[in-house]
Structures are given as C-alpha cells and as structure tokens.
C-alpha cells in the first residue's frame, strides 16, 4: 500500500505507472539465485473521488487491483468503481 496525501488521481496514477515500469529492473534474490523479472498489478483510488472514508477508498483500490490482475495486462488499474449510493461532491 502506498499513501500519497493530497495527491490527485492523475499524480497517483503516474506514480503507480512509474513503479510498475521500474519493477522488472529490480534484481530480487532468493537464497543463492536471482528470481526472474517481477511484475506489478496495481489498483489506484483517491479520496474523495472513490469514497468518503479511508475504508471506502481502500475497497475501491482493492477492486481496481482485482480488475488489473484479472485482465492479465501489465498495467495499473484505475478505479472506476464507486460504493453503492456514492455521490461525488
């Protein structure tokens, strides 16, 4: 989990994409061998766009992560989910 206080959705998505693109360059060692390149699936959500509480935003980010993982794409999943009845101010 990465929390970026005050960051916009655009800034948060850009940061997630930067992390996703940089992950394969990491050299992760386990025991005496290096693992193959790692990939990241990411879910992005921001307050208040995707919920009115921290819990709601975490649920939205989790849903976006699930969609990113299910798509099988190497991309960050932006949040399009909104809690039932949520109205963006």
Residue position matching structure tokens 């699930």: 66
pLDDT digits (tens, 9 = 90+) for 18-49: 998 998 999 988 899 998 888 888 888 998 88
Q: Is the pLDDT of residue 87 over 70?
A: no
Q: Is 32 exposed, middle or buried (0-12, 13-18, 19+ CB in 10 A)?
A: exposed
Determine, yes or no, domain membership for 37: yes
Query: CA 59, CA 65: separation in Å to the nearest integer?
Result: 10
pLDDT digits 0-9 by tens, 16-25? 889 989 989 9
- Of the pLDDT bands very low, low, confident and very high (cuts 50, 70, 90), residue 78 is very low
Q: What is the mean pLDDT of residues 53-67?
A: 89
Q: Is residue 5 part of a domain?
A: no
Number of domains in the chain: 1
**Is the residue at 85 inside a domain?**
no
58 lies in some domain = yes
Domain extent for 43: 10-78
Q: Beta partners for 43?
A: 77
Asked whether the bond before 48 is cis by omega within 30 degrees of 0, the reply is yes
Structural domain contains residue 63 = yes
Q: Is residue 4 part of a domain?
A: no
Question: Is residue 86 a part of any domain in this protein?
Answer: no
pTM: 0.69
42 exposure class (CB count in 10 Å sphere: 0-12, 13-18, 19+): buried
Q: Is residue 62 part of a domain?
A: yes
């Amino acid at each position: 989990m990465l929390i970026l206080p005050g960051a916009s959705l655009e800034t948060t998505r850009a940061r997630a994409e930067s992390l996703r693109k940089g992950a394969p360059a990491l050299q992760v060692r386990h025991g005496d061998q290096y693992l193959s390149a790692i990939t990241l699936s990411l879910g992005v959500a921001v307050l208040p766009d995707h919920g009115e509480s921290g819990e709601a935003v975490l649920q939205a980010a989790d849903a976006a992560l699930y969609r990113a993982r299910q798509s099988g794409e190497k991309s960050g999943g932006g949040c399009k989910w909104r809690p039932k009845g949520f109205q963006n101010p």
